Amino acid sequence: MKRARWISFTLAALLMTAVVAYWAGRHGSGSAASPAENSAGAGAGAPASAASAKPLYWYDPMIPAEHHDKPGLSSMGMKMIPKYADAGADQSVVRIDAATIQNLGVRTTSVERRALTETVQVPGTISWDLRQAVVVSARVDAVVSKLYARAPYTTVAAGAPLADLLAPQWTSALAESQALQHVQSEEAKALRGPAQQRLQVLGLSPTDGRAIGSGGQITLHAPQAGVISTLEVREGQRVNAGQTLMTINGLSTVWVEAALPQSVAGTVHADTPVTIHVDALPEQVFRGRVEALLPDIDIATRTQRARIVLANPEGALSPGMFATVKFEPTPGNAMPVVPDEALISTGDHTRVIVAEDGGRFRAVAVRAGRAAGGYTEILDGLTGGEKVVVSGQFLIDSEASLSGALDRLNDPAAKPAPAASTPMPGMPMQGERP
């Protein structure tokens, strides 16, 4: 009985060992890849004899930047697949078959060489033309006995009365000048010139001298037509010599000051034509040219002001109005241009995906310039005539990161490293199986 039990136990142990050996042969994690792994590896760029080729590394399609030296599970718990090198091909090129290209909706366009016609539209504000500003001041100590313009922003005509000033000093100066007009001696006649100069220094004209009233009262007249932008005195107020009474601004021309971002300020210069629309006058279009770019940058907005002088014969434009200013810079030299959507920017550099014959795609580093009308100038990297991908380029860029093409884009001798861009979750690249 004991012998029979021992024989049964031995047979059971041998059977269990055979089962374990068979399971290990089917599901083991040795150096040989399983059929599924061989199939996935071959589709991911493996040579024809994928079973005998050594994988570059193992990776999870959901985490392409994570590389491992042996098969197993990724940090997400997913089974990893091998990545093989294509020994007979350019390692900076990604190949995708025609069916996959159609499924991805890949579109390309040719790189053109032309000058960008950029139209810059910025906000602006209408202000006084300070070259037309005239200050009316008191030349002597006086008292304002009467104001004819009693409120700011009063429109006055040239020669219109502004204020009556009472100044005894004017009376003495006029009396001295008039007395010297009737003298006969040569010494007294020599004093006539200085007396007239004194009147001019005191701000009196020959007309004022004839119109002066008793006690030295005189009326000041507007030196030009315009608007009294500031009124700094009132009736009965005593003023000192040199004190400003009021400021008159002309309105035959106005300034428009437009705020230019620094990115486009370099394309605008003096004499650049502009078109101006004012919200208050929607039916009118004003045209002018840039007079000057002001040499200061607004610290808060980092913008540079452009000054435009506009004719305003009817006085329709008033200071303080908002305006929309369109600049039309002169087109520059012809440069390679690509659609904005073709650019892939990573922060460190910018690149495009160039399409070649036979379903081949190459990542090319470029240096971007100005952008206008949906296109961007390429200062370096393209010459014109190439075909760039404008739709689906991010998926191709992800495949390029898996194959190490982006690493060789920065350093041809570099080894595969974690790439800047990754494929979209759930969207395996050509030849890969999730």
What is the helix (H) or strand (E) element at residue 21, kind and residue range? helix 2-27
Does 431 have pLDDT greater than 50? no
Ranking 16-25, 362-371, 396-405, 411-420 by mean pLDDT, the lowest is: 411-420
Go through the domains of the chain in sequence order and give each one's CATH number: 2-83 (no CATH), 93-112+334-410 (2.40.420.20), 120-129+251-327 (2.40.30.170), 136-245 (2.40.50.100)
- Residue 167: what pLDDT? 79
Does 296 have pLDDT greater than 70? yes
Backbone angles phi, psi at 174, to 5 degrees: -70, -40
For the chain, the maximum distance between any two Cα atoms, rounded to a whole number of angstroms, is 172
Radius of gyration of the chain (CA): 43
For the segment 319-341, the average pLDDT, to the nearest whole number, is: 86
What's the token pair of residue 162? 């502004």
Structure letter (DSSP) for residue 426: T
Question: Is residue 93 classed as helix, strand or coil in its secondary structure?
Answer: strand
- Residue 212: what pLDDT? 60
Name the more confident of 134 and 98.
134
Using CA atoms, how far apart are residues 45 and 394, in angstroms rounded to an integer? 19
Using CA atoms, how far apart are residues 194 and 206, in angstroms rounded to an integer? 15
For the segment 124-134, the average pLDDT, to the nearest whole number, is: 93
Confidence of residue 51 (pLDDT cuts 50, 70, 90): very low
pLDDT digit string (tens) for 187-216? 777 777 777 777 767 666 655 555 565 556
For the segment 406-421, the average pLDDT, to the nearest whole number, is: 45
What is the helix (H) or strand (E) element at residue 397, kind and residue range? helix 393-403
- Residue 26: what pLDDT? 44
**What Cα–Cα distance (Å) separates residue 80 from each residue in 198, 389, 395, 416?**
102, 30, 20, 17
What is the overall mean pLDDT for the chain?
76
Using CA atoms, how far apart are residues 258 and 304, in angstroms rounded to an integer? 8
Highest mean pLDDT among 52-56, 90-94, 246-250: 246-250
What's the token pair of residue 195? 């007396």
pLDDT digit string (tens) for 181-193? 777 777 777 777 7
The answer to whether the CB of 41 falls within 8 A of the CB of 83 is yes
Confidence of residue 175 (pLDDT cuts 50, 70, 90): low
Residues 6+ apart with CB under 8 A from 31: none
Which strands sit side by side in the sheet containing 217-221, from one edge to the other?
Answer: 217-221, 161-166, 142-147, 238-239
For the segment 92-100, the average pLDDT, to the nearest whole number, is: 75
pLDDT digit string (tens) for 356-365? 888 888 888 8
Confidence of residue 242 (pLDDT cuts 50, 70, 90): confident
- Residue 263: what pLDDT? 73
- Residue 15: what pLDDT? 60
Name the more confident of 368 and 49.
368
